[in-house]
């Protein structure tokens, strides 16, 4: 065998060794936990045969506590690029079979290289987390490695889409990278995130809590809002990342892909003409409205289990990728509160950063009252939502279905926050407050002095409803562009989006804004 062939044979052997990560035994242990390996995850995520790997031969450089006696090719993370539906993406996947996926200086350098490349090429970056945290033997170098990654997350924010898959442990400092990215996907039963683990919680607070109760997927998807999605399996999580990217452009200078649409753009939906109940306090399901007007009834909801009084997610109108925001009358009467305001604000800012138009369906009785909300800063959180709508320069189409009262009217993509096209159904009630409350304020004394307060209130309420509980008062001032027949909603939204396709609007030059955090 020639000298060159021997060298080639050596390369092939080294590649095989690198692909085994921490070795067969640890791969088997990963599979027993119901988890895929880093390379298996990448293979499932990317188009078949498209993965090109970087830094397969990198090894750690530490010599503390005898770690120099144990080295692995690739050192705990698999990095590179490939395609999803033919579009370029950069990816890194932490390898739990090598030192528990712990982050060393070289692991950080590998991740940073991929992120830098993604920024230069203007392509999304996907990080798959499955790691025991910082590699203790490397001390400050591991921490420095984390901060280098965080700095890149910050600079990439709003420039390229960043998606995190949490498919195992993600604890301590490592949680901040996913927190800085646009979307977090966790898997039920096998992933968790927390800053301090159950043992520390027990020793500091004396509180007994399991990993799942402290930071499992279901907790973060419903209680904290840290996770945007909680999936039943890794396959489902990886397919979700592929689907999610289909709604996004490659970077902030591009448009999202326009798909061919077989669903007729002028399809009428007669059911919408009587979906609003006669009684103003009766709920209906906003999902029915969404399903009736979007392409093929398909809606990819974000933060489904968190702050369910507002609905956000991606959909299409005649093939156009759109971010949809809608109040949900079935939950807390669709009222706005701290959590729903934050949830919607973050989603709107993502859409605006990546040129995705925003369609808003409004049925909001106001903000949730009470000490709990006020002490929790509902003023600041509500202001975030207002700010997000006010700063957004993408096309904004708003449809008011029923209630739009008080400050919540202003906040929900009103004409005054630069809503481009504002429609209302004939059932819309746009006013400072609901009839009963308004009469209490306006005629409280007269009501108390009246011989028949109930009849007096009923008469005044009827007067108020005639004057304000309709869309025509707002339309009279041009705050509503048109009152539309509910069954035409799909057609009218699509026409509005087509008209707004060439919209150009820029905010005043500044270093950056100072939104109320």
Active site residues: 172-173, 407-408
Is residue 34 within 8 A of residue 75, CB to CB? The reply is: no
Exposed (0-12), middle (13-18) or buried (19+): which is 476, by Cβ within 10 Å? exposed
User: How far is the C-alpha of 243 from the C-alpha of 248, rounded, in Å?
Assistant: 10
Is residue 303 within 8 A of residue 225, CB to CB? The reply is: yes
Phi-psi region of 13 (alpha: psi -120 to 50; beta: other; left: phi over 0): alpha
Helix (H) or strand (E) holding 372: helix 371-375
What is the full DSSP assignment across 302-340? ESTTSSTTEEEEEEEETTEEEEEEEE-TTTGGG-B-HHH
For residue 453, what are its two tokens?
């307060």
- Residue 11 CA, chain-centre distance (Å), reads 43
User: How far is the C-alpha of 217 from the C-alpha of 228, rounded, in Å?
Assistant: 10
Cα dihedral 468, 435, 431, 366 in deg (nearest 10): -160
Is residue 498 within 8 A of residue 317, CB to CB? The reply is: no
3-state secondary structure of 103: strand
| Residue of 198, 206, 244 whose CA lies nearest to 89 | 244
User: How far is the C-alpha of 231 from the C-alpha of 241, rounded, in Å?
Assistant: 11
Rounded to 5 degrees, what are φ and ψ at 186?
A: -115, 155
134: DSSP letter: B
| Residue of 224, 387, 404, 264 whose CA lies nearest to 327 | 404
User: How far is the C-alpha of 304 from the C-alpha of 312, rounded, in Å?
Assistant: 8
- CA separation, residue 261 to residues 84, 250, 397 (Å): 21, 21, 20
Over 5-63, what HEC string results? HHHHHHHHHHHHHHHCCCCHHHHHHHHHCCCCCHHHHHHHHCCCCCCEEECCCCCCCCC
Neighbours of 427 (CB within 10 A): 22
């Amino acid at each position: 065998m020639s000298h060159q062939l021997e060298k080639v044979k050596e390369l092939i052997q080294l590649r095989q060794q690198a692909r085994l990560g921490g070795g067969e035994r640890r791969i088997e242990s990963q599979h027993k936990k119901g988890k895929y390996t880093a390379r298996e995850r990448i293979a499932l995520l990317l188009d078949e045969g498209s993965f090109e790997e970087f830094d397969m031969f990198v090894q750690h450089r530490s010599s503390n506590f005898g770690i120099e006696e144990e080295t692995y090719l690739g050192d705990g993370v698999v990095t590179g690029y490939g395609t999803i539906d033919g579009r370029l993406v950069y990816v890194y996947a932490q390898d739990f079979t090598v030192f528990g996926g712990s982050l060393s200086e070289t692991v950080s350098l590998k991740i940073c290289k991929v992120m830098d490349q993604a920024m230069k090429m203007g392509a999304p970056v996907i990080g798959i987390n499955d790691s025991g945290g910082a590699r203790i033997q490397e001390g400050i170098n591991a921490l420095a490695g984390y901060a280098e990654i965080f700095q890149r997350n910050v600079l990439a924010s709003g420039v390229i889409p960043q998606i995190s898959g949490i498919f195992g442990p993600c604890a301590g400092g490592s949680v901040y990278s996913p927190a800085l990215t646009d979307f977090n996907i966790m898997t039920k039963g096998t992933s968790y995130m927390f800053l301090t683990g159950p043992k520390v919680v027990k020793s500091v607070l004396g509180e007994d809590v399991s990993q799942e109760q402290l930071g499992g997927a279901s907790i973060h998807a419903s209680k904290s809002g840290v996770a945007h999605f909680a999936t039943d399996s890794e396959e489902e999580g990886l397919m979700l990342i592929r689907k999610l990217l289909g709604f996004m452009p490659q970077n902030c200078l591009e448009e999202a892909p326009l798909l061919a649409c077989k669903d007729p753009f002028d399809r009428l939906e007669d059911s919408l003409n009587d979906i609003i109940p006669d009684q103003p306090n009766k709920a209906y399901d906003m999902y029915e409205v969404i399903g009736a007007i979007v392409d093929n009834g398909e809606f990819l909801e974000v933060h489904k289990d968190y702050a369910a009084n507002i609905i956000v997610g991606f959909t299409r109108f005649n093939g156009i990728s759109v971010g949809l925001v809608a109040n949900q009358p079935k939950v807390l009467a669709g009222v706005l509160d701290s959590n729903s305001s934050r949830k919607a604000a973050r989603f709107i800012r993502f859409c605006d950063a990546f040129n995705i138009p925003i369609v808003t369906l409004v049925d909001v009785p106001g903000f949730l009252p009470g000490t709990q909300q006020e002490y929790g800063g509902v003023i600041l959180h509500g202001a975030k939502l207002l700010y997000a709508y006010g700063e957004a320069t993408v096309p904004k189409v708003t449809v008011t279905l029923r209630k739009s009262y008080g400050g919540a009217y202003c906040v929900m993509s009103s004409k005054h926050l630069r809503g481009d096209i504002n429609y209302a159904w004939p059932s819309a009630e746009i006013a400072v407050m609901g009839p009963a409350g308004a009469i209490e304020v306006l005629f409280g004394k007269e009501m108390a002095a009246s011989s028949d307060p109930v009849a007096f209130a009923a008469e005044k309420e009827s007067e108020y409803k005639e004057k304000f509980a309709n869309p025509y008062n707002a339309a009279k001032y041009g705050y509503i562009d048109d009152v539309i027949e509910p069954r035409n909603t799909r057609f009218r939204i699509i026409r509005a989006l087509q008209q707004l396709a060439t919209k150009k609007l820029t905010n005043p030059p500044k270093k950056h804004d100072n939104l109320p955090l």
